[in-house]
Amino acid sequence: MKKLLYIACLFLFAGNTAKAAAGDTTWVQANVNELAYYGNYDSTVVFPTGGSYRNVYMIFTLGKYVCPGSPTYCGDWDYTVQNFLMTPGGDTLELGRLITPYANSGAPRTPITWKQNLVFDVTDYVSKLQGPATIRLHYSGYSGGFTANIRFAFVHGTPDRTVVGMQRMWRGSHGYGGATSINTKFTPVPAVAPNGTESAELKFNITGHGSDDSGCCEFLSKNYQVMLNGSSVATKEIWRDDCGINELSPQSGTWIFDRANWCPGALVRSNFHNLPGITSGTPFSLGLQFDPFISTGGGLGSYTTEGLVIFYGKINKARDASIEDIVAPTNNENHFRQNPICGSPVITVKNRGAGFINLISFEYGIKGGARQMFTWSGALNSMESADITLPALTGLEPITGSTVAATFEARITTVNGSKDADSTNNKMASQFMPAPRWDDKFRIAMLTNNQGTGGISETNWRIYNSENVVVRSRTGNAINKLYTDTVALPTGCYRLELTDGGCDGLRWWLYVQNASLGVNAGSFYVRKYANGTNIPLNGYSYAGNYSHDFGCNFVQNFYISAPAAVTDVTPSSASMEVYPNPAAEVVNIDFAGLSGNGGTIHIIDAVGRVVFTAAATGTHQELNTGNLSTGVYTVLFVAENGDKLQSRLLIAK
């Protein structure tokens, strides 16, 4: 997979075309459209001619506008968007494909001001991105609400490889499972590798749409094989299994469902297949074979495809490592789930040279602060990428809790112990917001829903310290049960992870609106120990239509600013805490400092009547207060030895 580039870094290197140096960027503006209905949206552009470019990126910025009138949908649906380059010479090539999100303005992540940058690496098309051309945006939507802004960034420098030619093999949307096999649309195409070819790859874009009774093609996993000269050289599953960890979530539709190589609100990942043995002058034929399939009726699904063979010349640099992306810390919306952090930065590095890389030295820190050094050791083959976790950045801890953005900077200093061949791609910076600070003691209240196996819930939470060791957790929970845990932690950086095995969170809107599906709603709260108020979580909603909707998982990094108090507990320091207060259906009672755990709990109304009695059997008690009316009550605990504790309780419904 070719990862997203952190777009903000490009602005740091914008340059003048006439006097551009390696690393400078020339920008070209293309489409600016309101997408109102199905069709083509064309924009005439003039690309720079000549020059050498290390990378070329197409940046597609999605946004929203208010639809006129009272439409049923406005930016509410997942539609396919294809982006084509059309040259005066007759070339029509798909540069990239994306799917719009379910972006109702009521959803927490997609207000009317929402913007999202999707970045496509189109460096291989540089010989076609010359002079006048047309950029065509094909929108498959049958309602409006989305805006599109397409820009191209030409980063000056030496490319990784020289593209000596390209040949389009197939294109179109084809039904799958009908009387005529889809394989007739992908019969072998003859080709001859042009002069200078040292390697070749098939770039294949494919997404499944529509559905028969079996779910094909959108919701059914199938495979295709790449057939080179009649022999299979690759098999690929047409599937995305990670929609439930979509960075743009929660959404207002069925965003959590995995699909045929696409997820709502994300770019479509192109499949790249190496074609072995192809060099200058090599004749070959290339075809595809899809799994045998006969539709079960109820309509016929289809695959939308584009296949292109790219012929590469030599790799231009012997040793070249580049920083491709900053995953954390960053405000980049495409890494929303991984941020903010207070510990170890994560960066993406690519080997853009011909040689093998096993050592990369880094310098990194917060702008204006001290620098840390780290040497990574591993295995990175030519043209491969890897995410590298750097040691914890000490400069992050002092600024936790701040509401002022900071800048993280990282730089490659040496590769395999020597100077890198190309230093223009060795640096990157990102703006970020610091992680929050929490008190050393807090509570986690989780109500599981009824989803699980054998009565065991599919939802769990864990807290990891800076060494990635689990220090607190609640796993193997019963379904339909409320768990309240008091957590005390020493000073340090931590990561709270909430996971759901079904990838449908604890309370998904579809289940709430369709009671016939039989899914009970759950919840997850983190509360202050002192007063029971909710602690805000990054992008997580405690209320409304999207409350407790997180798909597969939720991650929150936080910093504990003071050590947990450790004191000897004696009978003279006995205490009782009642929460939440006010309460409605359930109240929790915690005891501390008791010589024993036995006793009786009484709830007394305002006129002195005992309206509830329960035995106390431990240091934590959960009481069902659903039958109590709104009003002020006294909670009285009488220990076995006669000692008494009491507290006020407000019931509000």
Domain ranges of the chain: 11-159, 161-314, 321-432, 437-560, 571-651
How many whole angstroms from its chain centre is CA 205? 21
pLDDT of residue 564: 46
pLDDT bracket for residue 589 (50, 70, 90): confident
Task: Please tell me the distance from the alpha carbon of residue 551 to that of residue 410, in angstroms, as a whole number.
Answer: 32
pLDDT of residue 563: 55
Kindly tell me if the per-residue pLDDT of 5 is higher than 80: no
The CATH number of domain 571-651 is 2.60.40.3880: yes
Give the range among 141-145, 353-357, 563-567, 573-577 with minimum mean pLDDT. Answer: 563-567
Beta-bridge partner residues of 273: 202
Rounded Cα gap, residues 509 and 444, in angstroms? 23
Residues 394-423: pLDDT tens digits?
Answer: 999 999 999 999 999 999 999 999 999 999
Average pLDDT over the chain, rounded to an integer: 91
Q: What local confidence, expressed as pLDDT, does residue 596 receive?
A: 63
Helix (H, G, I), strand (E, B) or coil at 183: helix
Among 137-141, 296-300, 613-617, the least confident range? 613-617
Superfamily classification of domain 321-432 = Immunoglobulins (2.60.40.10)
Report pLDDT for 597.
59
CATH number of 11-159: 2.60.120.230
The CATH class for the domain spanning 437-560 reads mainly beta
- The yes-or-no verdict on residue 173 having pLDDT over 50 is yes
11-159 shares its CATH topology with 161-314: yes
Q: 636: closest CA among 513, 399, 156, 611?
A: 611
Average pLDDT over residues 542-567: 83
- Residue 399 has a pLDDT of 94
Give burial (CB, 10 Å; 0-12/13-18/19+) of 231: exposed
Q: Give counts: helices (H), strands (E), the chain.
A: 2, 40
pLDDT over threshold 80, residue 11: no
Most confident of 42-56, 574-588, 619-633: 42-56
Q: What is the pLDDT of residue 629?
A: 87
Other C-beta atoms lying within 10 Å of the C-beta of residue 552 = 20
pLDDT at 354: 95
**DSSP 8-class letter at 582:** S
- The first and second tokens of residue 233, run together, are 């050289």
| Helix, coil or strand: residue 336 | helix
Class of domain 161-314: mainly beta
Q: At residue 323, does pLDDT exceed 50? A: yes
HSE-up of residue 503 (Cα within 13 Å, Cβ side): 12
Give the C-alpha separation, 559 to 492, whole Å: 6
Q: By three-state DSSP, how is residue 145 classified?
A: coil
What is the distance between the alpha carbons of residues 336 and 377, in angstroms, rounded to a whole number? 28
Sequence-ordered list of residues with C-beta below 8 angstroms from that of 583, at least 6 positions apart, any chain: 625, 649, 650, 651, 652
Cα 60 to its chain centre, rounded Å, is 17
| Structure confidence by residue, pLDDT tens digits, 258-286 | 999 999 999 999 999 999 999 999 999 99
Peptide bond into 250 cis (omega under 30): yes
Integer angstrom CA distances of residue 457 from 508, 522, 603 = 16, 11, 32
